[in-house]
Structure 1
Amino acid sequence: MKNDKNSKTKVLIADDEPLIRQDIKEILTEAGYEVVGEARDGYHALELARTTYPELLVFDIKMPNINGLEAAEEIQIALNKRIPAVILTAYNQPELIEKAGEIGAFAFLTKPVKPQDLIASIETAKHRIKELEHLRDDISDLKEKLEIRKLTEKAKGIIMKKLSLDEPEAMHYLQKKSMDDRLPIKKVAEAILKEMG
C-alpha cells in the first residue's frame, strides 16, 4: 500500500481519541505520508501547525477547546495558505457538512474510517488543491495581461494624439521602443504615460 508519491506530503492529525489518532497515523504511514504531528484538540493542532507547516490536515470535527473545523480554518489563516483538510466525524449532520465546505474542507468522512476511503479522500483533496493553485496562477496571469493591455492602449492613445499616428503605427512605435530599449512593453507604456500623459 506504500506509495512513494506521498512520501513528501506532511500531514497533521487531530482527534481527541488517542486510539483513533494512532489508527490514522498507521494508515497514513503505511501509505507513505509523513505524519508531522498528532494533536489532541484544535488548540494543540494550531500550535503544532505553526511549527510543522503541514500540507494536509486530517481532523476530527468534535474536539475540546477548538473543534476541527475551526482549527482547520485558523491554521489556514495563521499560515496564510490554503491547506486541504479531510474532516472526520461520528456525526452525519448536514449543518456540519455545510460548515466543512465553507472552510474549504475537501472531504468529509464518517467514522469508523476505512483506510482506502481515507487515502482516496486525501488524494482527491491534494488533486483539488493543485487545481485551485493552477486556477489562481491562471487568474494572476490574466490580470497581468489585462493590466499590460490597458497600459498599452492608454500609451497608444497618447502616442496617436501627440505624434499624429494611426493605431497600427502607434503600436509599432511602442513595440520598436520596447525592443530598442530592451524593456518589456509594460515598462515602455508606463514611461510614456508618465512622460507624455
Structure 2
Amino acid sequence: MYENLKNINILYVEDDEFIREQTATLLSVVFNKIHTAIDGQDGINKFNALNDEIHVVVTDINMPKISGIDMSKNIKSNVERDIPIIAISAYSQEDHILEDIADLFTFYLRKPTQIKDLIKSIGDAFELTR
C-alpha cells in the first residue's frame, strides 16, 4: 500500500518536541527520510540546506520565531520548483485570515491529525507536483 511513498523525503516542522519526535518516528516507517525542524526559522535553514532533497514540507502554523505561514511564504518565494507544503494546525482554516492560503498550502489539516490522513495527504501532495 505504501511502497510508492518510500522515495519521498519530508521536512517536518513542529515546535512541540513530543509531537515532533512521535510523528517523525511514525512517518519514518513509511517515507524515505524525515528531516525535522523545531520552528519556522529552523525550517527555513534546513530547507535551504537540503532544498533539492526535500519533496514535501509539513508544518505547524503557530510556532515561535517564525510562523509556519511566514516560513512557507519564504520557501515558496525562494525556490523555482513547486514544493508542496502541508499545514497542520489546531485552528480551522477560517481562523487564519489569509488571502493566499490556497496558494500557500497544498493541504490544510486540523489537529489532532490522524497519521493515516497525514500519510495520505503527503502522498497526494507529492503526486500533484510530479
Fold-level similarity (TM above 0.5): yes
- What is the Cα-based RMSD across aligned positions, in Å? 1.8
Name the residue aligned to 1:38.
36
What are the within-5 Å matches in structure 2 for residues 8-47 of structure 1?
8-35=7-34, 37-47=35-45
The alignment partner of 1:66 has SS state of coil
How far apart are the structure 1 equivalents of 2:64 and 2:38?
8
Deviations 1:155-177 (A, max 9, x none): xxxxxxxxxxxxxxxxxxxxxxx
Query: Which ranges in structure 2 are unaligned for 5 or more consecutive residues?
Result: none
- The alignment's TM-score, normalised by the length of structure 2, stands at 0.87
Structure showing the higher strand proportion among its residues? 2
The CA distance in 1 between the partners of 2:20 and 2:13, in whole Å, is: 7
| Structure having greater relative contact order (Cα 8 Å, sep ≥ 6) | 2
For these two proteins, the number of residue pairs brought into alignment is: 127
Percentage of pairs with the same residue: 25
- Structure 1 unmatched ranges of 5 or more: 131-197
2:114 & 2:74 partners in 1: Cα distance? Answer: 27
Larger proportion of helix: 1
Distance 2:103 2:4 in 1: 29
**Range that drifts further, 80-89 or 90-99:** 90-99
What TM-score results when the alignment is normalised by the length of structure 1?
A: 0.59
| Partner Cα distance (2:64, 2:88) in 1 | 15
After TM superposition, the runs of 4+ consecutive aligned structure 1 residues lying more than 6 A away are none
Retained in 1: the 8 A contact 2:9–2:31? no
User: Residue 67 of structure 1 corresponds to which residue in structure 2?
Assistant: 67
1-structure distance, mates of 2:127, 2:71:
22
